[in-house]
Structure 1
Amino acid sequence: MRLNLALGTYWFTLEARDLKIRKTLVLGIGNTLLTDEGVGVHLVEYLKHLHPDRDGIRFLDGGTLSFTLAAELEEYQNLIIVDAARTGGRPATVAVYEGPEVDQYLRGTRQSVHEVGLGDLLDIALLAGHFPHRVALVGIEPWNVEWGDSLSEPVAKSLPVAAEAVMALIAKWANEPEDPERVGNPFAVIGKMGNNY
């Protein structure tokens, strides 16, 4: 799903109404020593600055991924992964994948810069019974992944758009009724996502 103007509606809804936000982990992953490859980490830091005290939401720097992160998912109903992602689009393009689209993206030909680790992390979370009720990926097309500790100018300018996409997903999910099949049953979620998880 490409980012579109409808996301702004959910952003306004989240800010304007006292919604019950389901516990959501926003996990930024990437290597901040490889320029745009670290955009996921930069984005969660940006979101922390914008929303320092948002109840029910945790912004976590996941670095270059570790299997220990699977345990972090246990207490969260929703997971949003933010990462550099090669989608074939122009540099700094923001793409949003939700539910089955995450599975299709990770297992397809257009994959995350470090997709093996991300897929393995989700597999471990599933096996441990920590798989969230909802999963989404917000990916930003990198421009430069050479050595460097700051983002390229085009990708840095995309941070507000990517941040809005993250908060739009949270607001959208807050407006949705909970699916009783998902509660306490991660395999119900995986069944809807496909056969790969």
Structure 2
Amino acid sequence: MGVGNELKSDDGVGPFIINKLLDENIENDNLMFINAETVPENFTGKIRKENPSHVVIVDACLMGADPGQIKIVDKDDFINIGISTHSMSLSYFVKYLQQDNDFEIIFVGIEPETMDWGENPTASVEKTANEFIEILKGIVL
């Protein structure tokens, strides 16, 4: 699941990743790619219906790191300190998904360089996004 505002440069890194994966027409019955943009809560029913083993959420994440740095953020830290750029809604979203479900939630944060208006990620964030896509494809395909 990619989360973020595609009109705010690096904040749109999650949707950027999902859109590139969708453009590649990856066929695997065990995968579902969701471009949640700024409304991940709209997909809770779909996720619960599919009952996946894992939910991977990718979003710009303010970690105080170098732009483009990627980190798997422990969901307990994420929920408690709200380091996502959408901390309030994603914190509640993750808590809601965890209720009465056994699937693993993995939050992948990418440090943004800018959150100014712009339709594309900065070069450093786009480079990391493309590297993550290749890693992900290596794991799931």
Q: In the alignment, which residue of structure 2 is the partner of 1:141?
A: 111
For these two proteins, the number of residue pairs brought into alignment is 139
Take 1:48 and 1:141, find their aligned partners in 2: how far apart are those partners?
A: 23
1:153 aligns with 2:123: yes
Kept in 2, the 8 Å contact 1:28–1:43? The answer is yes
1:108 aligns with 2:108: no
The residue number in structure 2 matching 1:87 is 63
Per-residue Cα deviation, 1:80-126 (whole angstroms, up to 9, x for no partner): 001001111100111113xxx111133126x0000111111122234
Letter of the 1:120 partner, please give it.
Y
Deviation at 1:170, TM superposition (A): 5.0
Unaligned 5+ segments in structure 1 are 1-26, 172-197
SS of structure 2 residue aligned to 1:158? helix
Name the residue aligned to 2:27.
53
User: Structure with the greater relative contact order (CA < 8 A, sep ≥ 6): 1 or 2?
Assistant: 2
Which secondary structure does the structure 2 equivalent of 1:57 belong to?
coil
SS state of the match for residue 125, structure 1? Answer: helix
Larger Rg belongs to: 1
4+ residue runs of structure 1 moved beyond 3 angstroms?
164-171
Task: Quote the Cα distance in structure 2 between the aligned partners of 1:144 and 1:156.
Answer: 12
Unaligned runs of 5+ in 2: none
Secondary structure, aligned partner of 1:83:
strand
Give the TM-score normalised by the residue count of structure 2: 0.86
Counterpart contact for 1:34–1:145, Cα < 8 Å: yes
* Partner of residue 91 from structure 2, selected from 106, 111, 119: 119
- Counterpart amino acid of 2:120? S
Counterpart of 2:72 in structure 1 is 96
Q: Is the alpha carbon distance of 1:107 and 1:168 closer, same or farther for their aligned partners in structure 2, counting shifts above 3 Å?
A: farther
In structure 1, the residue matched to 2:11 is 37
SS in 1 for 2:75: helix
CA–CA separation in structure 1 for the residues paired with 2:60 and 2:53: 23
Q: Which moved more, 1:63-72 or 1:76-85?
A: 63-72
* Partner amino acid, structure 1, of 2:81: G
Identity value in percent: 24
Name the CA shift for 1:170/1:132 in 2 (closer, same or farther; >3 Å).
farther
